[in-house]
Amino acid sequence: MCSKQWENNEEINIFREYLRIPSVHPNVDYTACVDFLRRQASSLNLPMDVVHPKMPSKPVVVIKWQGSSPNLPSIILNSHMDVVPVFREKWTHDPFAAEMDDEGTIYARGAQDMKSVGCQYLAAIRALKATGYRPKRTVYLTYVPDEETGGDCGMAELVKGDYFKSMNVGFSLDEGMASEDNTYPIFYAERTMWNLRLKFNGTAGHGSLLLENTAAEKFQYVLDKLMEFRRSQSQKLAENPSLDVGDVTSLNLTQIQGGVQSNVVPPVLEALFDIRIAITQDLDELEKQIRDWCDEAGGGIELHFELKCPFVEPTKIDPSNPYWMAFKKSLDEIGLQTHEHVFPGATDSFYVREVGIPALGFSPINNTPVLLHDHDEYLRAETYLHGIQIYKKLIPALADS
């Protein structure tokens, strides 16, 4: 099908309209997103609330499709409105024009992450309502801000408040990621995030001397130990093809600070590490190991956790979870090949699981390069429309479970 035929598709046009809203960091203005979603809610004849869990400039949009048994725990279909920055010189298409080529490929920031999913929810509900279907459970569509900067002003605050409690949520569905083969990944857990800053204090002096116990020597010792641990995780991946990066602990040095000039041995060096901890790793054991390495290096090393998330229990993917059973059965019935994974990054599902609510991550995108946060992010029109059909099956399965 050529692009002219795709351009006449109502759902494609709605999707491209949403993509053209530059809700991009930093300093996102969500006004246009809220207005767009208000029009969508109105076209579906569904009520919409705008709540501000933390501050007026960070709205959460909630569209409600009331079920026939509203006392049952509800379903959340979550997505985020914000997108990451772009390097325009690296794009071959305007990242906020939602240009579509002759093959029906739509280029835009947010095409995969994750304005596609937010619009597919709406399209599936539009199709379901047209058949006269009404869910048993109430279905909420939530559109949150600032997920790409940690979610502190969005889902992290929303789950703490009375508004969320009044929603009586039983299950949440959120984003996954694309698959480059024919399968569809399903994410039932996330690794635990730490941002650890190590401050190395040592002997200072003239650069011509061989001083003992310098900050650099301590830094090198600890860095070697951390990189050795990192290599062990890479080796696990290399030796077991059934594993992916979400199944091991990743550790990366992301910042180094210190020193004033070339002939002065600095009294302090600082290093920041991004650590994503596998769900099978004991957190206390890992922290103790790092502290032991710091002691072995000679002491005088301070550990500061800029981020230290707690371990959050994975969502159960067995018969004890009726939502999982309904979810998996519906995908099996339409012949989708699926794989269960631990999400390698972080999503708002973390905050939902943290308050004890099961959550799954899923984006109906396969046979597509993983381009979230990358240049020339795109999604094919046919893939987008097929995703709507998947949600037409999934939403009733979950809402009527």
Exactly one of 82, 146, 247, 348 is catalytic; which is it?
82
Model confidence at 291: pLDDT above 60: yes
pLDDT tens digit string along 328-368? 999 999 999 999 999 998 999 999 999 999 999 999 999 99
Going by pLDDT thresholds of 50, 70 and 90, the confidence category of residue 32 is very high
**45 pLDDT higher than 60:** yes
Domains and CATH numbers, the chain: 3-175+363-399 (3.40.630.10), 192-308 (3.30.70.360)
Q: Is 102 marked active-site?
A: no
What proportion of the chain, given as a percentage, has pLDDT over 90? 98
- Annotated catalytic residue: which of 11, 113, 146, 147? 147
**Is the pLDDT score of 309 beyond 90?**
yes
pLDDT band at 6 (very low <50, low <70, confident <90, very high): confident
State yes or no: pLDDT of 177 exceeds 80. Answer: yes
How many percent of the chain have pLDDT more than 70?
A: 99
Is 400 labeled as catalytic in the residue annotation?
A: no
Instruction: Provide the pLDDT for residue 152.
Output: 93
What's the confidence (pLDDT) of residue 2? 57
Mean pLDDT, residues 219-242 taken together: 97
**Residue 8 pLDDT grade (very low, low, confident, very high; cuts 50, 70, 90):** confident
What mean pLDDT comes out for the span 318-330? 97
Q: What is the mean pLDDT of residues 69-97?
A: 97
- Per-residue HEC secondary structure of the chain comes to CCHHHHHCCHHHHHHHHHHCCCCECCCCCCHHHHHHHHHHHHHCCCCEEEECCCCCCCCEEEEEECCCCCCCCEEEEEEECCECCCCHHHCCCCCCCCEECCCCEEECCCCCCCHHHHHHHHHHHHHHHHCCCCCCCCEEEEEECCHHHCCCCCHHHHCCCHHHHHHCEEEEEECCCCCCCCCEEEEEEECEEEEEEEEEECCCEECCCCCCCCHHHHHHHHHHHHHHHHHHHHHHHHHCCCCCHHHCCEEEEEEEEECCCCCEECCEEEEEEEEEECCCCCHHHHHHHHHHHHHHCCCCEEEEEEEECCCCCCCCCCCCCHHHHHHHHHHHHCCCCEEEEEECCCCCHHHHHHCCCCEEECCCCCCCCCCCCCCCCEEEHHHHHHHHHHHHHHHHHHHCC
Q: For residue 3, is pLDDT > 70?
A: no
What's the mean pLDDT in 84-112?
97
Asked if pLDDT for residue 1 goes beyond 80, the answer is no
Mean predicted confidence (pLDDT) in 59-87: 98
**Per-residue pLDDT at 156 exceeds 60:** yes
pLDDT band at 208 (very low <50, low <70, confident <90, very high): very high
pLDDT digits (tens, 9 = 90+) for 256-285: 999 999 999 999 999 999 999 999 999 999
